[in-house]
Amino acid sequence: MRGDLKKLAVLAALVLSVWIAPLDSHAFYAALGSSFSLLQEYARLHIVTSLLPALLLAGAIATLLRGSAILKRLMSPGPAAYMTASVSGAILAVCSCTVLPMFAGIYSAGAGIGPASTFLFAGPAINILAFVMSTRVLGPGLGFARAICAIILSVLIGLVMSFVFGRTIRPGAPGAAGTGAGGGLPTRRAVPVMAAVAGVMIFARSGCPCEESLAFVTPFASWGIVMVCAAAEAAMLVAWFGVGWWRPVLAAIPSVTLALVIPGDPRPAFLAGVVGFSVILACGGGLLREWFDETLGLTLKVVPLLLGGVAVTGFLLGTTDAPGLVPYRWLESAVGGDSPFTVLAASAAGAFMYFATLTEVPIVQGLMRSGMGNAPALALLLAGPALSLPSLLVIRSVIGTRRTLTFTVLVILFSAVSGLLYGAVFPGL
């Protein structure tokens, strides 16, 4: 009856929410507007150029890496697993929501909870764009402290998660008794295939007019790199998977047509390319079909929880331009100053707030102008990108409630301790 009781509890919560909703309150409707505004912002900024390629990359990780040397390294208890996980997160430079499909792919492929947790924290925290922007806007002290602490915390959190939960093999994971999981591609082929998808994801975000561009690549050059990566992916599908050459050509026609018809916004053309690539995977056999099935399964698991979490976050906390049900002045008063309580409050608030990519920097800047000290600022910069209410819902669906609660507590506590140490050792920076 446990499953039925959970459904009954959710239904009771929904009925109670409707019962007590203050329909005659202006703040209630303003919060609803903020919820839809944040949903629209997330859909426009992240789904096409970030989340969709991230889901494809996660499907590739779960399918192509089975039995590879990379996965064996992530499954090992040694330091190499944690260094690999942290470096991978730094290279991908994703936000807290985009990293979730890849985390799910790594974990479902058989990686240990420790290295998977390191990757989960490192992906959005060790972000070269965030480092550059933090250094420019908030000063070199906070910028370098954020980068150094993020690297250290990602490894520490992974080690603690591995120590607490051990290395139990999950039912259905590679290596579990009776699963009979087959192997993926050889490592020398799997890595280039996934690197091409990762290149599309990284540079599509950089080339999008509504995203922060990479400092060393112009938006025009970014889309040139995207096309090169897409062409390389098509060549590998033909050479290594036996896909007919005419399939990538047909898939490219709608994308090229939209790029010529709508030159000002590359997202429709990019979406057409993603759909065409997905059709190739769905119509393929063997590993290609498994790749598509893994991607589809992750999409159905991740996207509804993400959108629901974003909507709830916008309703409660609002956006940078619109208020939520919780007044913004409450947050300002909670994180104002430099005391241990404000540092812990800033870390906890960051763990549940949703920050679009790099928006945590101007938010912290505004809070510092309102009186927030350096210690809570660093705590917010560390916990904010790593977690959010939408990401917590997805993480729970992947690793369960106990592991999610432990990971959340570790992020909040370690971020707060880092902020306190920074404030005590470098009070003037």
pLDDT, tens digit (0-9, with 9 covering 90-100), for 208-260: 655 555 555 676 788 888 899 999 999 999 999 889 999 999 999 999 999 88
Q: Please tell me the predicted confidence (pLDDT) of residue 326.
A: 74
At 421, the amino acid letter reads L
**Contact yes or no for 335/380 (Cβ under 8 A):** yes
Q: Please tell me the predicted confidence (pLDDT) of residue 390.
A: 85
Range 184-208 average pLDDT: 79
Across 24-33, 318-327, 409-418, the highest mean pLDDT is recorded for 409-418
Q: Please tell me the predicted confidence (pLDDT) of residue 411.
A: 94
Q: How far is CA 163 from CA 82, 104, 107, 111, in A?
A: 13, 20, 17, 15
Q: Please tell me the predicted confidence (pLDDT) of residue 54.
A: 85
Instruction: Report CA dihedral (261, 262, 263, 268) to the nearest 10 degrees.
Output: -120
Q: Please tell me the predicted confidence (pLDDT) of residue 369.
A: 76
| Percent of all residues in the chain with a pLDDT value above 70, rounded to a whole number | 82
Task: Choose between 397 and 71: higher pLDDT.
Answer: 397
**Contact yes or no for 52/273 (Cβ under 8 A):** no
Q: Please tell me the predicted confidence (pLDDT) of residue 217.
A: 66
Q: Please tell me the predicted confidence (pLDDT) of residue 273.
A: 93
Range 384-401 average pLDDT: 87
Tell whether the model's pLDDT for residue 175 goes beyond 50: no
CA torsion through residues 295, 298, 303, 306, sign: negative
Task: Choose between 43 and 246: higher pLDDT.
Answer: 246
Task: Choose between 23 and 53: higher pLDDT.
Answer: 53
Q: Please tell me the predicted confidence (pLDDT) of residue 97.
A: 67
Q: What is the mean pLDDT of the chain?
A: 81
Range 162-171 average pLDDT: 68
- Residue 320 is classified by DSSP as S
